[in-house]
Structure 1
Amino acid sequence: MKKFRISPYLFTAPAVLLFSFTILLPIVMTFIFSFYDWNGFGAMKFNGIENYIRAFHDHIYLVSYWHIFIYIFLTIFLEVFAGLLLAGLITVNLRGTGLFRVAFFTPVMLPMLVTSFMWRFVYNSDFGLLNAIMKFVGLESWTRVWLGNPHTALYALSIVSGWSYAGFYMTIFYAGIQRIGKDIYESAYLDGATEKDIFFKIKIPMIKNLVEVALTLCILGGFQGFDLFYVMTNGGPYNATEIVTTYLVKVVFTNGSIGYGSALAVIMTLVVVGIGLLLNMLKRKDDTLEY
């Protein structure tokens, strides 16, 4: 008869309890609250799936997903692809690349709150650095109220995100490129390959898995964006930069609608999980085709 041992359960119990109270319990309670009309203080009134029906008729909520997809599309180029190009640049056999590594990675170390306030100054229409530079070089007609214009605000935020995180992805790709054997480069040089050939035909193909991981992080991370949007525009102007997370904060904390906000959070969770599963399926299919 196998002897029951309680020691493994005792060792894992603190972690399980912490995970349950900080992750599982809030998820379950959010799902339960989504079926109620509740302001957080008074009596809870069960209303079934009315909150979900309301969500699919909420224009601002639906448009917020469109803003996220635009933001993700832009940041894929401004963060992942830019980070890939920077990694290729600093891995070229030139002097002084160490200084560039530090310079490109410095924005990553700054808190997003600090970065947001700094770029609000850059974009300021009255005394901002960007408009001042444009006036100085004779492009005064290009000056804009960057964060106050619905046509430019989302693009302006995406540029800030790219400036902040391109160095993060550069570091990931740089670490992968450093693992490529030097004998491969030497063989390529003997065959007459240029730095451009080595970058596109050796470096990128050999860190393909890292690029896929970076794309996944960028896509799923786009749904977690909050501080940048909240500090710089808070969803404005005229909801032009409203994303799900900023709208959720307004619904729950400004409007006091806990039940409806919970329904919005559940829908967002399902969307993110669905996208994550889709990306995983595509990766598996790609790996199968390679073999």
Structure 2
Amino acid sequence: MLLFAFTVLVPIIMTFAFSFFDWNGIGAMHFIGLDNYARAFQDRIYLRSYGHTLIYIAATVFVEVLVGLGLAGLITMGRKGSGFFRLAIFTPMMLPMIVVSYLWKFVYNSDFGLINSFLTKIGLESWTRVWLGNPDTALYAICIVSGWVYAGFYMTIFYSGIQRISKEIYESAYLDGATEWQIFFKIKVPMIRNLVETGIMLCVLTGFQSFDLFYVMTNGGPYNSTEIVTTYLVKVVFTHMSIGYGSALAVIMTLVIAIIGLVAGKLTKKDSDVLEY
């Protein structure tokens, strides 16, 4: 309890307390009440960062959870080489995110990157872009990287759930003439619904915690087009040395995540009650 209080409770309480002060971390602290919170709701970059985070979450739900679910369906169809395929898809998850970020910065490089080089060689030079330097493509480029990393993680979770389904159910479906895809959509997916919902919830919550991928690849640029809440928080606290304002932003983000968690929990419980009924 003492360790938990020192490492978790005290920082939370201090962050909440600092949010009512104007303080640069070195000089005197000046009490300003709710001014930091009022400033936050007028900060366009901060408000836009939530929009970018929501876009990132929506994109990653597709490229991570849904793609992972599809991959789990493919490798449970009993085809040859599924073990190697499963290992290959999961491998990116074992790499440090810093390594992944620099790897994909090379892939997206506008001068000698793999994507632009490939498009040029097949005669689609007009499709080449400055992928991480264009506000229209930078955020989506990062979403693809996140999907490449975490799709294997969700695939492993769903694969484990599908493996627990009784084989007798499959045998009955085969006797009734069901195809592999019908079994996937009408048996496998419904029977691991709780895992899918958990995966989506995990994807939403980790989306708000994302930092290293954005920090290394774009650091919020270009023109704040990939600025998310966490990267902006770091800039406010460590670059602008505004501890009080940064604390207020952290408190607001914590409340937003808590509200999302409570709403999702109630919706999940409501669905469970309907299914039981």
TM bucket (normalised to shorter chain) is over 0.9
Return the alpha-carbon distance in structure 1 between the equivalents of residues 154 and 188 of structure 2.
15
Deviates more, 1:279-288 or 1:119-128: 279-288
Return the alpha-carbon distance in structure 2 between the equivalents of residues 250 and 47 of structure 1.
21
Query: Structure 1 counterpart of 2:15, which letter?
Result: T
Unpaired segments ≥5 residues, structure 2: none
Return the alpha-carbon distance in structure 2 between the equivalents of residues 275 and 224 of structure 1.
14
Give the secondary-structure state (helix, strand or coil) at the position aligned to 1:48.
coil
Q: Does 1:197 align with 2:185?
A: no
Query: Structure 2 counterpart of 1:235, which letter?
Result: G
Give the secondary-structure state (helix, strand or coil) at the position aligned to 2:148.
helix
Q: Which of 208, 212, 217 is residue 197 of structure 2 equivalent to?
A: 212
Q: Does 1:269 align with 2:261?
A: no
Give the secondary-structure state (helix, strand or coil) at the position aligned to 2:225.
coil
Q: Does 1:280 align with 2:265?
A: yes
2:169 is matched with: 184
2:121 is matched with: 136
Runs of 4+ in structure 1 deviating by more than 3 angstroms, as ranges, are: none
2:274 is matched with: 289
Return the alpha-carbon distance in structure 1 between the equivalents of residues 121 and 270 of structure 2.
53
Q: Deviations for 1:136-193, whole angstroms, at most 9, x for unmatched residues?
A: 1111100000000000000000000000000000000000000001111111101000
1:37 is matched with: 22
Return the offset for 1:288.
Answer: 1.2
2:60 is matched with: 75
Return the alpha-carbon distance in structure 2 between the equivalents of residues 268 and 279 of structure 1.
16
Query: Structure 2 counterpart of 1:237, which letter?
Result: P
Return the alpha-carbon distance in structure 1 between the equivalents of residues 203 and 123 of structure 2.
36
Q: Which of 22, 28, 31 is residue 13 of structure 2 equivalent to?
A: 28
Give the secondary-structure state (helix, strand or coil) at the position aligned to 2:209.
coil
1:17 is matched with: 2
Unpaired segments ≥5 residues, structure 1: 1-15
User: For residues 104-143 of structure 1, what are the structure 2 equivalents within 5 Å?
Assistant: 104-143=89-128
2:232 is matched with: 247
Task: State the TM-score, normalized to the length of structure 1.
Answer: 0.94
Return the offset for 1:59.
Answer: 0.2
Query: Structure 2 counterpart of 1:58, which letter?
Result: D
Return the offset for 1:289.
Answer: 1.1
Return the alpha-carbon distance in structure 2 between the equivalents of residues 18 and 153 of structure 1.
41
Return the alpha-carbon distance in structure 1 between the equivalents of residues 251 and 132 of structure 2.
30
2:148 is matched with: 163
Give the secondary-structure state (helix, strand or coil) at the position aligned to 2:50.
helix
Return the offset for 1:93.
Answer: 1.4
2:83 is matched with: 98
Return the alpha-carbon distance in structure 2 between the equivalents of residues 110 and 277 of structure 1.
32
Q: Deviations for 1:231-289, whole angstroms, at most 9, x for unmatched residues?
A: 00000000000000000000000000000000000000000000000100100111111
Structure of greater Rg: 1
Paired residues, number:
276
Q: Percent identity?
A: 70
